[in-house]
A and B are shown apart, each in its own frame.
Chain A
Amino acid sequence: MSAKDNFLKVKHLYNRAGFGISYPDLQKLSRKNIDKVVDGLLKKPKNDDDITLVNNVESKRQLLAQAGLYSKKDLTDEEKKMRQDIVRMQNEVSRDLNIGWVSKMINTDAPLREKMTLFWHGHFACRSNNPYFAQQLNNIQRENGLGSFKTLLVEVSKSPAMLQYLNNQQNRKGRPNENFARELMELFTLGRGNYSEQDIKESARSFTGWQYDKDGTFIFRPNLHDDGTKTFFGKIGNFQGENIIDIILEKPETSQFIARKVYKFFVNDNPNEEHVKELATHFYNSKYDISELIRKMFTSDWFYAPENVGTKIKSPAEFLVGLSREFYVTYNKPQVLIQLQSSLGQYLFNPPNVAGWPGGQSWIDSSSLMLRMRIPSLVLNDGEIDFSGKADPEDEAVIALSRAGTNNANASAKPKSYVNANADWPKFLDTLPKGLTPLELTEFLLQPKLNDKIIKMVSDNKGLRSTSVEITSMPEYQLC
C-alpha cells in the first residue's frame, strides 16, 4: 500500500469516526497501520470526561420550588416572578449545556467518543426541559457509547430524562402507560414488525414502578410494580424491566437493527445488506460490545471502498463542528451556534421526536443548503446573518412570557445577529506543510474526488486563506 493510499484512508476514517483531522495529525497517523489507528480512536481517555456544567443542587432547588409553585392555586406577584425566573434560568442553562457539548466536540481529543455520543443522542432521542436530566443522559451516552450496549440500554432506560420523556413515571400497576415499552422495541432495539401489540402490553407491565425520585435518581417502587405473571415473546415469568431487556437482546433482530443504524450513520445512507449482516453477527457474538462492532466496521475493506468515501451528507452538527475544528474558530457570542443548529435543522438536545433526526438527504432543502454555503464566509470572515425566522415550538412559552404584558407582540423574537466568530488563521496556516499549493489544500479539505471544474477554480492561486473559504463554501464540502 502506498503512503498516499494510507493518507486518504486515515483522512476518510477521521471524517467519519470524528470531525475531520488536522494536517500534522494526518501525516503522523498515515505512517501507522490502519488497525492501529482504529485502536487509537477506540482508546478510552484516562480522565473522566463527563459534562458537569449543570449543578444538581441548584437544579434540584429549582425543581422543588417549581413543583411547589405549580401546585399552588393563587400566586402572589412575587411567586409569579419566581416561576418566570425559574423557567428563564432553565432555558439559559439548557442553552449553556448545548453550547458546552458543541464546544466539547470542537475541542475534544477523543473524537470517536463524541461522535458515538452524537450517534446515541439521535438513537435514544429525548427532550427534557430539565437541563440536569439532559446532561445526565448525555453523560450516560458518552460513558457507555463504546461499551456494552446492554449497560447503555439499561442506563438510558433508568435515566430520569427518558423516564419522564416516555412517561414511564406514569406507568403503574393497573394503569399501564405503554409509551416507553413501545419505543423501547420500535425505535431502540428490535425495529417495527418484530414484536406484537401483546408484547408491548406485557413489557409495559414489567416496567411499572421504574421511576425517579426528587433527587433525579432512579428508584424502583415495588408498590407501583405489577408483580403478576407476564408472557413476553412466548416466555412466561414474573418479569421486571431488566428481564425484558435481556429477552430483547437475545433476539438477533436487535443486533441487526443497531448494526444497520450504525452503518447508515458511519458508512452509507443505503446499506449494503451483506455488510450489515457481517456487522450484526459480529456484534451479537461479541455479546453486544459496541467497540467490537465499531472496530469491525472501521477495519473492513469495504469501509474504504470508493462508494463509501466522500458520499455522505454531513449532519449540521458534523458540518459546524468540523468547520470550527478545522479552522480553530472561537465564537465570541456562542449563542449563535444554537441559532445555526436550529436554522440548519439539528438543534441538539431538541430532536424533532423520539425517532430522532431522519438524516441523509432530509438535511438538505433549498434554504438549508443556501445557508450551509454561506456559513463558511460568515464564520471564517465574520459576517451578519438574519435569524428572524419562526421559533422552535418549545420556545413558544418563553416567547409568550417575554411578550406578555409588554403589549409588544410585533417585536421580532429573534433579531439580527452577528456571527461574531474568529478563525485562527495563523494557527491553521501553520499546520500546513511549507509550499502546499491551493490544489493540495483542496484535496486535503474535500472528501469527494475533485472534478475538472474545481481543479480549474483553485488553480488560479488566490492564496490558501481565500482558497479555504471558497472550498468550504462548495456543495462538495457538505459531504464527508
Chain B
Amino acid sequence: MNRRNFLRNTGFVAAGSLFVPAFMKPLEAMALDELSLYKNLVVVQLSGGNDGLNTVIPFGNDIYYQKRKSIAIQPDQVIKLNDMQGLNPNMAALQEIYDQGWMTIINDVGYPNPDRSHFRSMDIWQTGSDSNQFLSTGWIGRYLDSNCQTCKFPYTAIEVDDSLSLALKGQTKKGIALKDPGALFRNTNDPFFKSMIQNDKEHLDEDNLGYLYKTMIETSSSANYIQNTSKVYQSKATYPNTGFSNQLKTVSKFISSGLKTRVYYVSLSGFDTHVNQTNQQGNLLKQYSEGMAAFLKDLKSNNKLEDTLVITFSEFGRRVEQNASNGTDHGTANNMFVFGGRLQKKGIYNPAPNLGDLDTGDLKYQLDFRQVYGTILDKWLDVNNADILNKKFNTLDFI
C-alpha cells in the first residue's frame, strides 16, 4: 500500500500537527449511533461435503432408489414437502420452520468445472472464485474491504470459532474469530496485554509493526465492545446441548443484545461420509436441524427473525450413486438452505435435481453459488455484488 492509499483507508486526516490516525483511536470513541437498522447474515458451513440427496430426498424419483440400494431413505420415512422432495427424518425439527414459511431450499447450486477436493472446493466457496482461480481473500472479507457504511468495524463479521476462516479475510480488513466473548475479554484485559497497547502513540506507521498494533488495538476494542454489549443479555430459550447449538446460541445472544455486527459465521463438520453414511449423517442432520430450529425460534421471540437471514452450504454434494461401503463419494452440485422471517419465495425454490441427466455420475448445477452470494450482497447487505465478486452475477428472488 502506498502512503496515499494508507492515508485514505485509515481515515487519516491532516488537520494540524496533533492528530491521531483513525486506526489508533479506540473504537468506542467512534460514533456508532448512525447505524440503527441492522440486518444480520448468518452463514452456516457444513464441512466435509454433505450428501444433499439424503438431506432433501427426491423420493418421487425412481432413479434415486436404483442408485442407492442400501442407503436410500424410504418414502414412508421422508418428511414430504411436495410430491417429489422431502426432508431426511432426522430433520423433523425443521418441519415447523418450513411450515412457518421461514425456510427456502435451493436445489443444485454449484459452479462450472467443479473441483472434488475438499480443500480446493471449500476455498472456491469461501473466496467466491472460479474453479481455476486462486484468491487469497474471502467473499465476506472483500465485503469488509468495500468500506461500506456498516462494515468499518472489525466486529462487523464474527466467526464463532477459535480461528478465522478464509471467507472472512479481506485485503485490508478481517473479521474476528471468537468462541467465548468472556475468554477473549479476559485475554485482552490481561495486564501484560493491556500494557502493550496502552498509551501507545509510537506505532503510527503503515508498516508491519503498525499493522500488528492496529490488529491488537482492534481486537481489544472489539472484545470490550462485544463483552460489554452482550454480557447483560440472558437468553430464555433452551438449546440442545451440542457444540453446534452452542455456537448458534452465542450468535443469538449477539444478535439479540443488539451487537452491531452484520455477518456471523459458524460451522459443523464431519460430513465426509464415505463409509456407513446413514447413522453418521443422520446424527449430524439431527444436530443441525434441532440447533437451527431452536435458534430461529429464539430469534423470533426476540423480534429479530425479520432482520436475520441464515444460509447453509457445504463445499460439494456427493455422487448420485452410492459406493460399496454404504457411503457416498465426493460429488458436485448441492442444495443450499435459506432461512429468515422475510423470505420472498418460501419453500422449494427451483426444480428438484434431474437424476436422469448427469455429468459422469454427478449432478449438473442449475444455479451458480455466486448468484446466491450476489443476491445477498445486493439485496441484504446493500452493496453492488460486482464490487465484491469481481463480476456481476444475476440475482435471484428468494429475498
Say yes or no: is A474 at the interface (Cβ < 8 Å to chain B). yes
- For window 178-201 of A, CB contacts with B under 8 Å fall at 182
What is the chain A residue whose CB lies nearest that of B244?
A410
Interface size classification for chain B: 35 or more
Bound Cα distance A155, B274 (Å): 34
Question: Contact: A409 with B275, CB < 8 Å?
Answer: no
Question: Contact: A366 with B177, CB < 8 Å?
Answer: yes
Bound Cα distance A391, B267 (Å): 10
Name which of A168-176, A239-247, A447-455 contacts chain B: A447-455
Say yes or no: is B10 at the interface (Cβ < 8 Å to chain A). no
Question: Contact: A396 with B216, CB < 8 Å?
Answer: no
Interface size classification for chain A: 35 or more
What is the chain A residue whose CB lies nearest that of B222?
A366
Say yes or no: is A426 at the interface (Cβ < 8 Å to chain B). no
Q: For B284, what are the chain A residues with a Cβ–Cβ distance below 8 Å? A: 409
Bound Cα distance A55, B284 (Å): 38
- For window 105-129 of B, CB contacts with A under 8 Å fall at 118-120, 122-123
- Shortest CB-to-CB span from B259 to chain A, Å, is 16
Name which of A34-42, A273-281, A368-376 contacts chain B: A368-376
- For window 303-331 of A, CB contacts with B under 8 Å fall at 311-313
- Shortest CB-to-CB span from A353 to chain B, Å, is 6
- For window 336-361 of A, CB contacts with B under 8 Å fall at 343, 345, 350, 352-355, 358, 360-361
Question: Contact: B219 with A311, CB < 8 Å?
Answer: no
Say yes or no: is B272 at the interface (Cβ < 8 Å to chain A). yes
Q: For B349, what are the chain A residues with a Cβ–Cβ distance below 8 Å? A: none
Q: For B184, what are the chain A residues with a Cβ–Cβ distance below 8 Å? A: 370
Q: For A404, what are the chain B residues with a Cβ–Cβ distance below 8 Å? A: 273, 275-276, 279-280
Say yes or no: is B192 at the interface (Cβ < 8 Å to chain A). yes
Say yes or no: is B163 at the interface (Cβ < 8 Å to chain A). yes
- Shortest CB-to-CB span from A226 to chain B, Å, is 22
Question: Contact: A400 with B272, CB < 8 Å?
Answer: yes
1/0 per position for B264-289, CB-CB distance to A under 8 A?
00010111111110011001100100
Contacts A353-B134, A361-B208; is A369 near B163 (CB within 8 Å)? no
Q: For A369, what are the chain B residues with a Cβ–Cβ distance below 8 Å? A: 212, 215-216, 219
Q: For A80, what are the chain B residues with a Cβ–Cβ distance below 8 Å? A: 275, 325
Partner of B271, one of A72, A353, A394, A396: A396
Question: Contact: A365 with B162, CB < 8 Å?
Answer: no
Q: For A64, what are the chain B residues with a Cβ–Cβ distance below 8 Å? A: none
Question: Contact: A182 with B132, CB < 8 Å?
Answer: yes
Contacts A72-B324, A397-B274, A404-B279; is A343 near B163 (CB within 8 Å)? yes
Partner of B208, one of A312, A403, A470, A473: A312
Contacts A364-B211, A368-B163; is A405 near B177 (CB within 8 Å)? no
What is the chain B residue whose CB lies nearest that of A477?
B212
Question: Contact: B243 with A410, CB < 8 Å?
Answer: yes
What is the chain A residue whose CB lies nearest that of B124?
A353
Say yes or no: is A476 at the interface (Cβ < 8 Å to chain B). yes
- Kindly name the residue among A361, A407, A413 whose own CB sees the greatest number of chain B CB atoms within 10 A: A361
Question: Contact: B161 with A396, CB < 8 Å?
Answer: no
Question: Contact: B242 with A367, CB < 8 Å?
Answer: no
Q: What are 7 sample pairs from A and B whose C-beta atoms fall under 8 A apart?
A: A75-B325, A313-B211, A364-B215, A369-B212, A370-B188, A393-B122, A400-B280
Give the 8 A-B residue pairs with the shortest CB-CB distance, closest first. Answer: A389-B162, A396-B48, A409-B283, A396-B272, A393-B118, A366-B219, A358-B136, A475-B212
